[in-house]
Structure formats: structure tokens, C-alpha cells
Chain A
Amino acid sequence: MRSVTKNGVRIFFPQGFLDGTAAEELLSIDDVNRTVKSNPSMILVSLKKVIFFNTNGLEPFIKLFKIARKENHTAVGFCDYDLKKYNTILKFYKDDLMFSLFKTEKIAQLFATNYDNKNINVLLYNEDKSQRTAMAMELHDNGHTPIVAQSEKEFQEKIDSGTFDTIIETTYLGQIEQNVATRVTGNAIIYTVNAFLDAEIGESFNIDYHFHSLNVGFRLFIFDASKVVSMNVHAMNFFSKLASSGAEYNANICFVGMSFEKTQNEFKNTLEDAGIIFFEQMDDILKNKDMLSELGSSSIANIKQKRVINKVMINELPNFVNATVATIEMMTNSTAVKDAIQVNELSIKNTEGMIASSIGFYGDMDGMILLVFPVEIAKKACELLIGESTEDAELILDTLAELVNIVGGKLTTLLSDHDINVNITLPRTYPNVSSLLDIVKGKKGVQVDLSFDDDKFLFFLTR
């Protein structure tokens, strides 16, 4: 069954008839284990292309939901249904509705902590008052503006009179509290933390991922703490150490929306001494482009670890290049020609009209791949994913990130064939190459110059 992970949300797309006879074939134990292990911030099952289902047919997904809730507290639910399907599910599970029901995937994303678009103007109605309140609180916590209709009549009146970005109805909120979720916005990584921060943060926070994101070039890390109730001394020490270790890279750590009502105020001073900056709202950073650029910009002087590529990486170089070339060839339906290979610092002769992307990997070996494209190749490569040609620079960069994800996935597979297990970081994209050059300044790596139908393309592998 098709499934994709987008912005940290894993979505399954069953289609046809879900009647239980094919349950095991639809979602194998391996699928369940892989999904739970990847720890997405939300798991959704889209019913858009399901025309018939019964409880047996939904059972494999319910099992997945239960495991994901138990293991990772992942938010889980069904989406993309009509009123008939919604009522049927409510009827099936009226006594044990532990999952959520989101009318559309877009509505579900509003409740996901890693959703990029904030401050969405939302009208919502549910006949159950506690549901209305729970949804409004959750949306508010996620940075949106919910308007709650108290009756169906009021709901209709507001629909007729108001202008809302999104209207929420036939939606049910199940258990939704989540773990440390991660998302990327521009050049910042945003971690979402909630409830009580104590020694457990050391367990739930993926420190490897964080350090490899630093290595890839991310310099701004924002902790969305608007749902944090309190923090104890163990958590404070954890964040202080995190800030100190990030200082080697000139990284900035910010806390947003942290209330100190139930946390000792002196903790704030200690954290500020460690270099952590506090903001009241996410928009104070994200909407302030100058500040965002300054906090997230790379620093040449402070990249302390100048590691060199090693023999193991050189041995695996064909795999790295093949993963990249095969992906771009697949996406552009063209053939690549290798022009030159050299071990040196990154050298780009013509930086005009070039965009770039990077992805890190860590595990049995670590490092990062940089890809520098002419915009035209990037556009062509993204057409297969978008379905049409586009001039939208933001969409091209977003799609480029998907493309680099495919490269990362392919690389993971190729290396695992040689018993080398690696994980990949979230990809980062660069609208121009100057910021990329700052990140790799002084780093030696393997540069492969390639041509795709006479367009120059550059691959760089470094640590």
C-alpha cells in the first residue's frame, strides 16, 4: 500500500474495498514496525479512495494506531472521508475511539506540531462541547486562530458571513499529545516539546539527529515550548549542555512561548547565560526575516570540526554518486555524463542561477551530500513530482527537498547492501549558493562535476 512521509507526517493511502479479507496483506508486521520505528509526528490513514470498509478492514490500521500511541505517543487518525464514512466509524468505535478523525488531510495538518503554516483562521463546529473546546485549545496551541461556533445554526451563519481559511466540521479529536516533533522551516529546525520537561527529555530528544543537523549546516534551533507546563532542573541542565555544545558551531537555540509560571524563574537566567534566547511567539522570529537570517546564518570561523573524508567513504563513493545520478536521471528522463572528479574544497565556477540542497547521513558512517543544480534542471526534475512545470520558487525548493530525500533513501538502500547502515537527516535547500559556500568553507570533499543534457550539475561529498 502506498504511504508517504511529508513534513514528519506519515500517511497511508489504501484504496478500493477494505473488508478484512486482505487485512494482513494491506499492512504487514514489517510495515507496522518500520512506521513505529521511524517515529513520525502523526500517522494518518486517508480514506479518500476507499469506497467500502468494515471493522475487519480497518483493524490493521487500528492495531498500528495502538502500537504507535503506546510506543511513541504519536497522534493517529483517519482523514479524507465524507459524512457517511465519518458516522460509520463513530458507530463502529463509539466505546473505544482512541484515534482522531480529520475530515481532510489539510485539517489534520493543522493539528500536527510540525505544520509549517501558522496563524490559520479556522471556523470550527462539533456538537459535542468538550470536542469543540479541545479542538480550539489544540489549534490555539499550534499557533492558529480558532473561531468556535456554539450551535449548528451559528456555524451556518458564520460560514455564510465570514471568510475563513479553513472550516472544520465532522472532525473528532482523539488522544493527540505528542513527543518531541521536528520540522524544518527555511534555515531553522523547530522542535516541539510539551507538558512536563524532566530527565526524560534526554531519552526522547534525538541528540544524534541534532548534531548531524549542525554538521549539515543548520544553525538555528527553535524549541516550541508553548505547550510546556513546567521544567525541572534535569531538563534545564540538558538544555544548557545542548546550548554549550552548539556554541562550537555558532548555533543559536531559542525557546518560544515558554511560560515560567510553574518553573523557577532563575532557570530562565541560567538558560540565558548558556546562550538560549527566549521569545514570546513563533512569529517574533519567523516573521522577522532579518533576525531569522542573522540567527540562522552560518559562521565560517566557528565551524570547529573540520573533519576529512576517509577511506571508507571513498570506497563507497560510487554508491553516493550512483544514488544521486540515478535519481536525477529518473526524474529528468535524461542521461548524465561525468565530467570531472576531484578531491578539494567545493568549487563552483558560475554561481548565477544555481540552487542547492544538502542532506546529512549518520550511523556506520557520517557526512553530508551537497547537490548544486541550475534552476532549469531542478525545475525539470521536480516536474515528475509536481505533475506540471512551475515557476514558483518556493514550490521548486520544497520539491527539491523531496528529491533529495529520494537520493537519501536510495543511498540508504545501496549502502545497506554493503552492510553499512545509515540514517538520513531532513534535507536543507538553498535558494542561492552563497550560504552553502559558507557552510563548507574550509571543508575538503569529493566533487563530481556532471552534465545532464549539457546542463552542469555538481555533487559534493564531505564530512
Chain B
Amino acid sequence: MITIEQINTYITKIPPAPDALKKTLLHLNNENLSRAASAAQEDNALSSYLKTLVNSPIYGFSNVISDIPQMFGVLGVPRSQQVVYNYMLSLLSPDKWKLFKLNKTTFHNLQSDLSVHWQKILTHLKIIDPHIQSSISLLPATIIVSEALFCENIEDVNQLRSVNPIDLNSILQRLCNVNLFDLCQMIAEKWDMGVSTSQIIQASSGLKPSENKNINILGKWMHLLLFYILSKPKYVEAGLNDFIDFQIDYVEDIYDDFSKVMDIS
């Protein structure tokens, strides 16, 4: 169905970050918002993406923000970095989705939903760290990679899952000894996203708890957040609710806190 050669080819084909993006991120890392905004404006696609994303209802700004420097100013360094990474990831998403019932808009909404709720969690945990804040941007890479690898095998996957409740992550692991979160890590490395991002994403699989206590806690929150978001009707309808296994035991100890932060009653 899927071979390690196909996976290697897929990873090789992932383009490096465009120059304008690299410059934008470099200036954001140096907390120089005005230079970052100038760099971002060099890339029309990035500017357009940022305007659409930041003005979507989930960000909740009362006025339309169309100016990139103003946008970065309102968002601040960590969240600006987060939306730039979201843009980078959206470059990997397919024009037409086959495995999941998604389109550009729903995928952007998913990115926004995750980013905004991740921010709530970090505020609750009192964490202000740009790398940790932007780590959530990489999580939807699991969905993009699943789409890329499994879209030509939808029927096979469905037949297999009709006799065995196996998730896509396990199928990949059993066939190629590599899983979706490993592939996310490879993408993160290719894009110089920082070690902590890779570590949090790996922990968020719920399958490889981190030995670093702080990273592990963030992994738990991210895992639970993913399934909180993927239980929303539009994502259930898109077929995202069960593409990977929810590791309920992994997150049980933070559930009460999580339900307070998300106002679940």
C-alpha cells in the first residue's frame, strides 16, 4: 500500500521555506516586527493569507486589519510567528483533498481553531515562548501527510478498517516503521522549526511520552486539544475524527483543567 521509498520521495519533495518567509521568521525571532512585516510584504501570497486568516471570525478583531505591520503589531511576536508557520504549512496542503472532505477554507479554519485554543491553553499555563506558541502550527501536518500518502488507497484503507479498527498512524507504522508524527518531525527539521517544536509534536501523538516533564505536559494538552477540535461537526464530517487514535489514558489527568479552560460543562 505505502512503501518507505514513497515516504522518502514525499519528504524529499517538500520544498524549503521561501526566502521571504525565512527573512520574516528571522526578524520575528529577533523580535523586530517592522522588518518582519516588510519581509512578509515581499510575498504576495503570504500577505494575502495573513489578511484572510487574521480577519477570520475566530480571531475576533472588531475592525478589518489590512496592513501587515499593523497586523503583526496587534498579534505580537509569538502569534505572528504562529500565523507565518501556519502559512508555511498551508503551502504543503493539496489543491484538492481526496481522503478528507476538506478545502482551503476548512483547512485554514482548522489551523485557526487550533492556534486560538492553543493560545488559551498557554495563557492558562502561563507560558510565553514563541517556539512553544508556534509549535501548534505543525500539528495539522499529520493531516496533510495522511492525505498525501493515503489518498490513492482510500478503498484499501476502508476495507482494512471494516475488519480491524486500525488508525492511519498504526497502518503507516506497521507498514513502514515510521509514523505520522515522525514525518512531522522531519518537516520541522527541514524548516528549522526548532527542537522544542519537534519534541512537543512527538509527545502530542500520545504514543511517545517525553522524558522532559514540561514537554510532556504540553504534549498532553496538545493531544487533547486536537481531539477537542476534531470532535467539532465540520471536522467529523471531513473524516478527521478518527484518522489517528485518541490516547485517552494519556490525557486523563489534565481533563478537568482542560474542561475549565475550554468552558465545557
Residues of A within 8 A of B (CB): 1-6, 11, 13-19, 21-22, 24-26, 48-52, 326-327, 329-331, 333, 383-385, 387, 402, 405-406, 409-410, 413
The stretch of B31-39, B52-60, B161-169 that contacts the partner chain: B161-169
Residues of B within 8 A of A (CB): 1-3, 153, 155-156, 159-167, 170-171, 174-175, 224, 227-228, 230-233, 236-237, 241-242, 245-246, 248, 251-252, 255, 259, 264
**CB of B207 to closest CB in A, whole Å:** 13
Query: Does B230 contact A16, Cβ atoms closer than 8 Å?
Result: yes
* A413 / chain B contacts, CB cutoff of 8 Å: 155, 159
Residue of A with least CB distance to B228: A17
Query: Does B246 contact A49, Cβ atoms closer than 8 Å?
Result: yes
Q: How far is the CA of A25 from the CA of B171 in the complex (A)?
A: 24
25 contacts across the A-B interface (CB closer than 8 A): A2-B165, A2-B167, A2-B242, A3-B162, A5-B163, A16-B227, A16-B231, A17-B227, A17-B264, A18-B231, A22-B237, A22-B241, A26-B236, A51-B248, A326-B156, A327-B156, A327-B159, A330-B156, A330-B160, A333-B175, A384-B160, A385-B166, A405-B163, A406-B160, A406-B163
* B245 / chain A contacts, CB cutoff of 8 Å: 15, 49
Query: Does B175 contact A51, Cβ atoms closer than 8 Å?
Result: no
Query: Does A402 contact B163, Cβ atoms closer than 8 Å?
Result: yes
* B153 / chain A contacts, CB cutoff of 8 Å: 330
Query: Does B163 contact A385, Cβ atoms closer than 8 Å?
Result: yes
Q: In the complex where A387-B170, A410-B155 touch, is A22 in contact with B163 (Cβ < 8 A)?
A: no
Query: Does B175 contact A384, Cβ atoms closer than 8 Å?
Result: yes
Q: How far is the CA of A326 from the CA of B255 in the complex (A)?
A: 43
Q: How far is the CA of A22 from the CA of B224 in the complex (A)?
A: 17
Cβ-closest 6 pairs across A and B: A16-B231, A17-B231, A16-B227, A22-B233, A25-B236, A15-B246
Query: Does B170 contact A4, Cβ atoms closer than 8 Å?
Result: no
* B159 / chain A contacts, CB cutoff of 8 Å: 327, 406, 409-410, 413
**CB of B255 to closest CB in A, whole Å:** 6
**CB of B191 to closest CB in A, whole Å:** 29
Q: How far is the CA of A18 from the CA of B1 in the complex (A)?
A: 33
* A18 / chain B contacts, CB cutoff of 8 Å: 231
Query: Does A16 contact B1, Cβ atoms closer than 8 Å?
Result: no
**CB of A377 to closest CB in B, whole Å:** 16
* B170 / chain A contacts, CB cutoff of 8 Å: 387
**CB of A335 to closest CB in B, whole Å:** 10
Q: How far is the CA of A16 from the CA of B244 in the complex (A)?
A: 11
Query: Does A330 contact B1, Cβ atoms closer than 8 Å?
Result: yes
Residue of B with least CB distance to A26: B236
Query: Does A385 contact B231, Cβ atoms closer than 8 Å?
Result: no
* A1 / chain B contacts, CB cutoff of 8 Å: 236, 241-242
- For A51, give its contact among B162, B165, B227 (CB under 8 Å): B227
* B2 / chain A contacts, CB cutoff of 8 Å: 333
- Given A5-B162, A51-B248; 18 other pairs, CB 8 A cutoff: A1-B242, A2-B165, A13-B165, A15-B241, A16-B228, A21-B233, A22-B236, A49-B245, A51-B224, A51-B246, A327-B156, A330-B160, A333-B3, A333-B175, A405-B163, A406-B159, A409-B163, A413-B159
Query: Does A16 contact B241, Cβ atoms closer than 8 Å?
Result: yes
* A26 / chain B contacts, CB cutoff of 8 Å: 236, 241
* B231 / chain A contacts, CB cutoff of 8 Å: 16-19, 22
* A326 / chain B contacts, CB cutoff of 8 Å: 156
Residue of A with least CB distance to B4: A333
Q: How far is the CA of A378 from the CA of B167 in the complex (A)?
A: 22
- For B164, give its contact among A24, A327, A402 (CB under 8 Å): A402
**CB of A53 to closest CB in B, whole Å:** 10
* A410 / chain B contacts, CB cutoff of 8 Å: 155, 159
Q: How far is the CA of A15 from the CA of B230 in the complex (A)?
A: 9
* A402 / chain B contacts, CB cutoff of 8 Å: 163-164
Query: Does A384 contact B228, Cβ atoms closer than 8 Å?
Result: no
**CB of A20 to closest CB in B, whole Å:** 10
Query: Does B164 contact A4, Cβ atoms closer than 8 Å?
Result: yes
**CB of A437 to closest CB in B, whole Å:** 27
- For B165, give its contact among A4, A383, A384 (CB under 8 Å): A4
* A383 / chain B contacts, CB cutoff of 8 Å: 174
- For A15, give its contact among B155, B171, B242, B255 (CB under 8 Å): B242
* A384 / chain B contacts, CB cutoff of 8 Å: 160, 166, 171, 174-175
Query: Does A13 contact B242, Cβ atoms closer than 8 Å?
Result: yes
